[in-house]
A and B are shown apart, each in its own frame.
Chain A
Amino acid sequence: MKKETIVAIFLGLLFGGILALVISFKNKEIQLTKSKIIAPPKEKNVPLNLSGTELQFFELTEPADRTISENNLIHLKGTAAKDSLILVQSPIKDLAVHNLQEKFDLEFPLALGENSIKIVVYPKEKQFRPQEKSIKVYFIDSEL
C-alpha cells in the first residue's frame, strides 16, 4: 500500500469521527429544546420577596396612657411607617404631619385637666388600613 493511501485513510477516519461527534451533540441539543420540562426550573421556586410591601407597625412609646403632666406641652414619640400621614387630634389641637422617617417626635399642647388624644397613622400604601391609638393625658399643674 502506498504511503499516500495510508495518510488518506487516517485523515478520513479522523474527519469521520469528528463529524460523528458533532452530529450526536447537535442532536441531543435539539431533543432537549423540543422536549417538555416536567419539573419547574429552580429559579421559579424562589419565594417572592414581600419585604418592600411590609408595613412598619405603629408604636407610641411616649407618653403612656393616663400620664400626669406638670407641663402644658408633651412630646408624642414613637415609630410609624415612612411617608405615612400622622394625624393627631385633641379638643384643643389638630395636627397633620408627613412622617419622613420611621421615628417621630411631635410636640403637642395640653389643656388644663383631661386631654383625650387620638393618633391615627395613614400609610402611604393605600392597601393597608390606618393604625390608631387613643390616650388620655392629665395636665395637673404643680401648684395643685
Chain B
Amino acid sequence: MKKIIQNTLLLGYLVSMLVGNTMAQTPTVTASSSPTVTVDKDILKLKEKVANKVSEIRRKNNKAVSGFVVSNDGNTMKVNSDGVENLVKFDDALTKYFKILGTQKKEIKADDIEKNDYIIVSGIIVDNVITANVVLIDENFLVNSGKITEVDKENYNIKVLTSDKNTYNLNIETYTKQFMVNIKTLGIEGVGFSKIKEGDTVHFVVKKIGNPPAGGNNNYSATKILIIPQEYFIK
C-alpha cells in the first residue's frame, strides 16, 4: 500500500514536470517556426511606441498664448499678451488659421488677421517667440466680481468695486443676462434689474474690444451678471 502511494506521488510529480516544460516551451516553438511574423509584430509595436512618445512630447511642448494683435505682415505677427509682446512666426506648411464663430470655426488666411483682433496662438514657445501650429481669432471676455457700490435705476447702470480696488461701470443692456443665487437652494435664477441693491455681490462677464478697452475708464456693457444678495452673508 505504501509503495502504491509513493509511486502515485512520484508519477504525479513527473507528469506535472513534463506538462509544465511542454507548456513553457510552446512560445519558443512558435517563435522558431515563424520568426518573420514575430519580428514584424515587434517592429509595429516599436513604431506605435515611438509615435505615441512623439505625440506626447509635441503635446507637452505645445503651449498657448492669447492677446491682441499689434501688427501682422503675413509671415510674422506681434501679439500683446497682458503687457508682454510675443512674436508669432507662421509656417506655410504647418500653421492653420481659424475664426471662432460661436460654437463653430471657419478656416481663414493669415492676411485675414487684423490689428486689434484677439487671437489664441498654439505652438512651441521659446523666449517669447512662438512657432504657430494654430491661430484662432476669438472674443476676449473679462470675468470678475465685486461689491455693488451704486445702482443707477434711471440709466440701468451699476458701479462695482472689485477686490483689487478697481471700479467698473457696468451698463445693463437689454441683451445682458441677469441671474441671482437663491440663498436657500443655491440655484441660479433669472432676475430683473429692480432686484439689484447696493451692497450685493456681483459676478460679471464683459466683452473687451481692443487693448486698452474701447470704452475707457472701465466702462463696459455687461454680457452677464450673477448677483449674490447681501442677505446670504447676513443669515
A residues with a Cβ closer than 8 A to B are 66, 68, 85, 87, 89-91, 94-98, 111-114, 116-118, 120, 122, 126, 129-130, 132, 134, 136, 138, 140, 144
Extra inter-chain contacts (13) besides given A87-B203, A113-B100, A140-B122, CB under 8 Å: A66-B65, A68-B64, A89-B203, A90-B143, A94-B179, A96-B187, A97-B186, A112-B104, A114-B66, A114-B120, A118-B144, A126-B233, A132-B145
Q: How far is the CA of A110 from the CA of B224 in the complex (A)?
A: 17
A98 nearest CB neighbor, chain B only: B186
- The interface stretch among B43-51, B132-140, B210-218 is B132-140
B64 touches A112 (CB 8 A): no
B181 in contact with A113 (CB, 8 Å): no
A residues in contact with B138, CB < 8 Å: 113-114
Residues of chain A contacted by B88 (CB below 8 angstroms)? none
**Which of B98, B136, B145 is A89 in contact with, Cβ under 8 Å?**
B145
Residue interface bits B42-78, CB-to-A below 8 A is 1, else 0: 0000000000000000000011111000000000000
Give the residues in chain B near A111, CB-CB below 8 Å.
103
Q: Is B157 engaged at the interface, CB distance under 8 Å to the other chain?
A: no
Distance from A117 Cβ to chain B, minimum over Cβ atoms (Å): 7
Q: How far is the CA of A129 from the CA of B68 in the complex (A)?
A: 34
Kindly state whether residue B197 has any CB partner on chain A within 8 Å: no
**In whole angstroms, what is the CA distance A101 to B120 when docked?**
36
Docked-complex contact A144 and B134, CB < 8 angstroms: yes
What are the nearest 3 A-B pairs in CB distance?
Answer: A113-B138, A118-B143, A138-B64
Is B17 in the interface zone, CB < 8 Å from A? no
B51 nearest CB across to chain A (Å): 15
**Closest CB-CB distance, B21 to chain A, in whole Å?**
50
B203 proximity list for chain A (CB < 8 A): 87, 89, 94, 118, 120
Number of A-B contacts (CB under 8 A): 91
A113-B223 contact given A66-B64, A91-B143, CB 8 Å threshold: no
B163 engages A122 (CB within 8 Å): no
B96 at the A/B interface (Cβ < 8 Å)? yes
For the complex, what is the distance from the CA of A89 to the CA of B163, rounded to whole Å?
Answer: 16
Known A120-B145, A120-B203: A94·B188 in contact at CB below 8 Å: yes
Give the CA-CA distance A144 to B122 in the complex, in Å.
10
* Given A98-B186, A118-B144, residue A112 in contact with residue B100 (CB < 8 A): yes
Which of A91, A116, A138 has a CB less than 8 Å from the CB of B224? A91
Q: Are A138 and B233 in contact (CB under 8 A)?
A: no
Indicate if B205 sits at the interface (CB-CB under 8 A).
Answer: yes
* Minimum distance in angstroms from B216 CB to a CB of chain A: 21
Q: Which residue of B lies closest to A130 (CB)?
A: B163
Q: When the two chains form the complex, which single residue of B104, B105, B143, B228 contacts A116, counting CB atoms closer than 8 Å?
A: B143
**A/B interface sample: 20 pairs, CB < 8 A:** A66-B65, A87-B228, A89-B143, A90-B205, A91-B205, A94-B188, A94-B226, A98-B186, A111-B103, A112-B105, A113-B136, A113-B139, A114-B120, A114-B141, A116-B142, A120-B145, A122-B232, A138-B66, A144-B105, A144-B122
